[in-house]
Structure 1
Amino acid sequence: MVIIFRMKKNILFIILLIFLTSCVRFQTFDKTPTASSSIPTPVQLTPTVTTSQLTVCLGSEPNSLYPFGELNAPARSVLAAIYNGPIDNVDFEYQPVILTQLPTLENGDAQIAKVTVKAGDKIVDATGNLVTLEKGVKVKPAGCRNNACAITYDGTTTIEMEQMIATFRMRQDLTWSDGTPIVADDSLYAFEIQTETNVNSYLIQRTEIYEVADAYTLQWFGAPGFIDPTFFTNFWQPAPRHLWSEFPAEQLASIDIASRMPTSWGPYIVKEWIPNDHITLSKNPYYFRARDGFPKTDEIIFRFISNADVAVSELIAGRCDILDPSINLDNHIGLLQEMQLAEQAQAFVTTGMSIEWLGLGITPASYDNGYVVNQDRPNYFADIYTRQALTYCTNRQAIVDNVLFGATSVPASYVPKNHPTYDANLKAIPYDPQVGISLLEQAGWQDHDNNPSTPRQAINVRNVAYKTPLVLNYYTTSTAQRRQVTAILEDSLAECGIGLNIQYFSQNDLYAPHGLLFGRQFDLAEYALGVESVEPACHWFTSAEIPNESNAWSGTNLSGFSNTNYDIACQNAQSYLRGEQEYLNEYRQTQILFAEELPAIPLFYRLRVAATRPEVCGFALDSTANTLWNIESITIGETCQN
């Protein structure tokens, strides 16, 4: 399980992406004339064309095709085939699909305006929270982007703040699959639906106005003080007002025309959905790229196969053309690589925005009312030397090599290595037990019996009782991969005199609200974090993200780490725009602080794995794009030559 955070800027979410291909087969039959006593009348024969098909095998059945619902990964793959865009994200870059261009300050479709605000107005304060302006609120006045120049409002005067405005221009050749033109009002309708049903609430709350400017143009006005690095994506995916508006917004997720057989604008439409078996898509005759020969395949069939062994067998048998990443193929990477060498398959592996973590229980929830030696759990991780020692004593490279077939790497940061903001000067801490032992001894953990196979004891560790053994509770789920990882970590940590008490739990028990993870009741825990956005997830370790009673035990900072300098750097980074030097500088500062403070140990970048039959062409696996983002271009076999 990967914990995925869906709020646009900083909410708890995972994540691995592909570009797929489909197949087109044509057969023509020429009649051969035979001898006859009379000359036959010439007959013009129409070539017989077979319906081209591509079978995509998913890890489970989509839970819905309602685009504004809580969707599982297979649903997102299917939706990519029936909706195009509206904005694609490929290799960490955004591309317009149903817009003529993305708004930028340079092209004039975006601007940062000065607006006057007064007491009682809704604004975004200096920490990024939506608040009512009143005395004592810290704000960033116009021209200020970081906390250093923030001011405290006096409660009476008017002040100028910055407001972002963006103009979105839709293509004018867009048509719903029932033939009705798509207009700007359909996007406004989607905004209204999501406002009523509390979907995407983070962005909606920070939107002052979203309005139609003309038939194909919309304008977005952010709340004063809301500087959004991805403002150019604040366009709401259109919804067919002419079909859906007769139903209450809260019912749309449960009616067929919105959730099972939706009217769409993409290359395909839903032809049939046989529960527990398959979904068939057929060409959308109104697709706006049809005149250019897209989509290349007539039908897409989605099958549901949860067992990875069965899925690989079906690929070999030709009953799956593509294995979607929603099938857990991590343990089959070696086999797929061998099949590729034998020209029996094509294997695709990439990393995305998701990381597997070894969480450190720096501040358990029991410390929230103060730490008491001999009553609370020992304060194992307060000393930075201990956290560094654990990292040196963790053989992460062995995990990458032996569990993940060398297909990923050991992280030095919370940011992916191929991300534009990644700080290439950072180096991952290597496995070095001798350095780890030295750091443990500096922290006061001593080998009391000169037996390296027994756990060390606290001799002079700050805030830890004398002779406390260095034996840590280790919690995770019982998947095969995590059991393999745990075995490697247990052996490598033992080399440094660190003992583990390993316990495996079900996902429900481990991830329950106020449970072991979110309740901050662990010493060490292995879990994954991911985000749907491609903005660096510095918020994962901010103080505001510590799960506690006041936020109903929700948040990503499971370690309970708190560092003022890190919080400020992350807040500052989120206040600048892509392309501004400060944006890059502040995100790199968060990475430097992360590497120094080690709020958690990044074990490896999680993989996204897919496979295709050898005949499939045009398929590529991207770090950030939706699995089937370019399904209209997929080809197979002889048509690959075209």
Structure 2
Amino acid sequence: MQPTPVPSPTPSPTPKPKILTVCLLDEPDSLYLYGSDSLAAQHIWQAIYDGPLDSRTYAHQPVIFTDLPSLANGSAVVETITAQAGDHVLAAGGEVVELTPGVTVEDAGGQCVTFDGTPIPMVRMIVTFTLRPDLHWADGAPITADDSVFSFELAADPATPIDKHAILRTADYRAANARTVVWSGVPGFLDHFYYLNFYHPLPRHAWGSVSAASLLNAEGSTRRPLGWGAFVIREWVRGDHLTAARNPFYFRAAEGLPHLDEIVFRFIPDPTKLAQELLAGRCDVVTHDAAAPVLAALPNQLPVEMFTAPDSRWELLAFGISPAPGYERPDFFEDVRVRQGIAHCIDRQVLAERVLHGYLPPDHPLYAGGALTTWEYDPVAGQALLANAGWYDDDGDSVREAHNIPGIADGTPFQVVYHTTDDPLRVQAAHLVRENLAECGIQSSVETLPPEMLFASGPEGALFGRRFDLAQFSWRITPDPLCDLFLSSQIPDAGRWGKPNVAGFLDDEYDSACSAALAAFPDSAEYAAAHIEAQRIFSERLPALPLFQRQKVTLACAAVVGLVPDSTQPSELWNIEQLDLRP
């Protein structure tokens, strides 16, 4: 039985339809959930889907669930089971394997045990997701737990080109009833992000007879996917625009949502033309991924509003502490006093207003705050640290030389190469840092590389091959702090060139704190305490110098109401049902 569409309020007299025009630089190739990961697709998905989760202020909020699963409320549990020969388990090395003699696993007591045929007690996680009772597809059919199971089946299909990491670590994914999905992990796998192990529903009733391979190109899945959000796709004119109209079956329609009648996504690949359309009033919103080139094409006096939010990327200057064998140069940065001195020498406030003192921003719920060592701009203090480490200018040429430093020949000048990408903001920052370093007696030359070269795999790549002196780039900030970026076990090397500790940072105390954080569940006090300790050590010993957090800018005309860009929400249209236009 289909629900009766909720009628929209009908003011008198009947107003002109509210139509919001969002202008994008890029047009997605596909809107199929497993066929695209473009930001353009994510913007449009905000209109046709709502949730399953929102991600704001470095946390997750349920949208189509009755509650977010947690260990505290009992919807996530860890239980002990008996692993038998032939079971798929997480081995001690982190890979999912069949349990056979000789395989080493971690038992329920946390001890590493090598399987000899005797059953082993191991822990596993079970997470229960409960859907809201008022969810319907845009064609009126109810959304059920089986639609999520269908999505899991498609994700697991070999024809679906997505990473199978989460699939391999799933022992079972099933619908317990019409509104309840239960995820079970393989024995040994305890997932910090267990509440994300829900598969975005896809409509089995509409697509169930189509193969996973065919869905990658089918009209219904790629151009007019069925959703449950505030809007439903009405037309897509390739190379021009996509129009989405109000969905009468939207589960929040009784609240008077959405406020708008239509959303038009225009695709304008030329930034200059896009800027002209914005000024002419034919674009209401320009998304953050288009803002920089559009701003460059706009006059100085902007007749538009700018909405800003910190980006989820943090810019850093990595020190080449332990370069790879074969990259011959002095060990400039092994002494922590050198890294600390450089931190004092760089005026980061000139680079950006939002300076970082650790790998988390101040608004992150796990930010260490007062536990951090901060390195304010103080070139006198910086030069003193460099001199104490054995680097001072003895010949008056304004470049420091080595004096009585083990492993470095006396008289070796402090001359380094500063690598970064050809991104204009990075190039500008790199030259400002070069000037600061020169004032402290360190000579640096800036070399820019295309991103694909800077981030190329080792042994040839500059970063992952550990063949650099200084390197400026960015890492992404996540709700779960990525302290493992600097673990000694994560140093890239032969056979593991993708590991992220490109600085080659080795510190037992840091390893201990970060490992404790990674072993604890997010709901626990141990988790927060260990992450704060890892941040404290990082800020003192500086495997990398945090520079700043980028800003993302959304442009909009003055009539637009309700835009609330967020650091951890990929699209600023995340609350599209709340957007409105002033009369």
Q: 1:27 to 1:211 in 2, by over 3 A?
A: closer
Alignment pair present for 1:527 and 2:473: yes
- Alpha-carbon distance in 1 for matches of 2:278, 2:66: 39
Alignment pair present for 1:192 and 2:144: no
Task: Determine the structure 1 residue equivalent to 2:366.
Answer: 421
From 152, 159, 163, the counterpart of 2:124: 163
Q: 1:585 to 1:127 in 2, by over 3 A?
A: farther
Task: Determine the structure 2 residue equivalent to 1:630.
Answer: 575
Alignment pair present for 1:109 and 2:75: yes
- Alpha-carbon distance in 1 for matches of 2:360, 2:485: 11
- Alpha-carbon distance in 2 for matches of 1:297, 1:592: 47
3-state SS of paired residue (2:474): strand
Q: 1:192 to 1:25 in 2, by over 3 A?
A: closer
Work out whether residues 35 and 161 of structure 2, in 8 Å CA contact, stay in contact via their aligned partners in 1: no
From 64, 69, 72, the counterpart of 2:30: 64
Alignment pair present for 1:300 and 2:263: yes
TM-fit CA distance, 1:429: 1.1
TM-fit CA distance, 1:301: 1.3
Work out whether residues 228 and 575 of structure 1, in 8 Å CA contact, stay in contact via their aligned partners in 2: no
Pick which of 584-593 and 314-323 moved more.
Answer: 314-323
Pick which of 305-314 and 555-564 moved more.
Answer: 305-314
TM-fit CA distance, 1:554: 1.9
From 300, 318, 329, the counterpart of 1:377: 329
- Alpha-carbon distance in 1 for matches of 2:162, 2:341: 43
3-state SS of paired residue (1:557): coil
Task: Determine the structure 2 residue equivalent to 1:290.
Answer: 253
3-state SS of paired residue (1:366): coil
Work out whether residues 278 and 303 of structure 1, in 8 Å CA contact, stay in contact via their aligned partners in 2: yes
Q: 1:61 to 1:108 in 2, by over 3 A?
A: same
3-state SS of paired residue (1:491): helix
Task: Determine the structure 2 residue equivalent to 1:566.
Answer: 510
Task: Determine the structure 1 residue equivalent to 2:185.
Answer: 222
TM-fit CA distance, 1:207: 1.5
Work out whether residues 240 and 268 of structure 2, in 8 Å CA contact, stay in contact via their aligned partners in 1: no
Q: 1:285 to 1:544 in 2, by over 3 A?
A: farther
Q: 1:611 to 1:471 in 2, by over 3 A?
A: same
- Alpha-carbon distance in 2 for matches of 1:463, 1:338: 57
> Which runs of structure 2 are paired with 1:138-149 in the superposition (5 Å)?
139=106, 141-142=108-109
- Alpha-carbon distance in 2 for matches of 1:86, 1:581: 28
- Alpha-carbon distance in 1 for matches of 2:311, 2:227: 28
> Which runs of structure 2 are paired with 1:29-40 in the superposition (5 Å)?
none
3-state SS of paired residue (1:622): coil
- TM-score, normalised to structure 2, is 0.90
> Which runs of structure 2 are paired with 1:38-117 in the superposition (5 Å)?
49-117=15-83
- Alpha-carbon distance in 2 for matches of 1:25, 1:173: 20
Work out whether residues 107 and 121 of structure 2, in 8 Å CA contact, stay in contact via their aligned partners in 1: no
- For structure 2, the residue ranges without an aligned partner over 5 or more in a row are 1-7
From 113, 132, 137, the counterpart of 2:104: 137
- Alpha-carbon distance in 1 for matches of 2:419, 2:273: 30
Q: Deviations over 1:26-56 (max 9, x none)?
A: 997xxxxxxxxxxxxxxxxxx5543321011
Work out whether residues 291 and 554 of structure 2, in 8 Å CA contact, stay in contact via their aligned partners in 1: no
Task: Determine the structure 1 residue equivalent to 2:561.
Answer: 617
Task: Determine the structure 1 residue equivalent to 2:349.
Answer: 397
Work out whether residues 271 and 293 of structure 2, in 8 Å CA contact, stay in contact via their aligned partners in 1: no
Task: Determine the structure 1 residue equivalent to 2:325.
Answer: 366
Q: How many residues align?
A: 569
Pick which of 414-423 and 260-269 moved more.
Answer: 260-269
Q: 1:63 to 1:387 in 2, by over 3 A?
A: farther
Q: 1:445 to 1:414 in 2, by over 3 A?
A: same
Task: Determine the structure 2 residue equivalent to 1:276.
Answer: 239
- TM-score, normalised to structure 1, is 0.82
User: Over aligned residue pairs, what C-alpha RMSD do you find?
Assistant: 2.9
Tell me: higher relative CO, structure 1 or 2? Use CA pairs within 8 A at least 6 residues apart: 1
3-state SS of paired residue (2:155): helix
3-state SS of paired residue (2:61): strand
Specify the code of the residue in structure 1 equivalent to 2:359. Answer: Y
Alignment pair present for 1:259 and 2:202: no
From 533, 546, 549, the counterpart of 2:491: 546
Work out whether residues 187 and 239 of structure 1, in 8 Å CA contact, stay in contact via their aligned partners in 2: yes
Work out whether residues 25 and 52 of structure 1, in 8 Å CA contact, stay in contact via their aligned partners in 2: no
Specify the code of the residue in structure 2 equivalent to 1:68. Answer: Y
> Which runs of structure 2 are paired with 1:226-265 in the superposition (5 Å)?
226-265=189-228
Specify the code of the residue in structure 2 equivalent to 1:387. Answer: R
TM-fit CA distance, 1:399: 0.6
- Alpha-carbon distance in 2 for matches of 1:414, 1:239: 36
Q: Deviations over 1:132-167 (max 9, x none)?
A: 55658362524x5xxxxx444474544433222111
Q: Deviations over 1:205-226 (max 9, x none)?
A: 2221111111221111122232
TM-fit CA distance, 1:352: 4.0
Identity %: 38
Alignment pair present for 1:316 and 2:279: yes
From 377, 393, 408, the counterpart of 1:447: 393
Work out whether residues 329 and 610 of structure 1, in 8 Å CA contact, stay in contact via their aligned partners in 2: no
TM-fit CA distance, 1:94: 2.0
Specify the code of the residue in structure 1 equivalent to 2:471. Answer: A
From 384, 396, 406, the counterpart of 1:462: 406
TM-fit CA distance, 1:107: 3.0
Alignment pair present for 1:555 and 2:499: yes
Specify the code of the residue in structure 1 equivalent to 2:45. Answer: L
Specify the code of the residue in structure 2 equivalent to 1:172. Answer: P
Specify the code of the residue in structure 2 equivalent to 1:281. Answer: A
TM-fit CA distance, 1:450: 2.6
TM-fit CA distance, 1:395: 1.6
TM-fit CA distance, 1:114: 1.7
Q: 1:86 to 1:492 in 2, by over 3 A?
A: same
Task: Determine the structure 1 residue equivalent to 2:4.
Answer: none
Specify the code of the residue in structure 2 equivalent to 1:216. Answer: R
Work out whether residues 563 and 573 of structure 2, in 8 Å CA contact, stay in contact via their aligned partners in 1: no
Work out whether residues 139 and 225 of structure 1, in 8 Å CA contact, stay in contact via their aligned partners in 2: yes
Task: Determine the structure 1 residue equivalent to 2:5.
Answer: none
TM-fit CA distance, 1:504: 1.8
Work out whether residues 539 and 545 of structure 1, in 8 Å CA contact, stay in contact via their aligned partners in 2: yes
Task: Determine the structure 2 residue equivalent to 1:403.
Answer: none
3-state SS of paired residue (2:534): helix
Q: 1:119 to 1:396 in 2, by over 3 A?
A: farther
- Alpha-carbon distance in 2 for matches of 1:217, 1:620: 32
- Alpha-carbon distance in 2 for matches of 1:358, 1:418: 22
Q: 1:385 to 1:490 in 2, by over 3 A?
A: same
TM-fit CA distance, 1:449: 1.0
Alignment pair present for 1:386 and 2:338: yes
TM-fit CA distance, 1:71: 1.1
- For structure 1, the residue ranges without an aligned partner over 5 or more in a row are 1-23, 29-46, 145-149, 368-374, 401-405
Q: 1:25 to 1:299 in 2, by over 3 A?
A: farther
- Alpha-carbon distance in 2 for matches of 1:76, 1:337: 30
Task: Determine the structure 2 residue equivalent to 1:6.
Answer: none
From 123, 126, 140, the counterpart of 1:179: 140
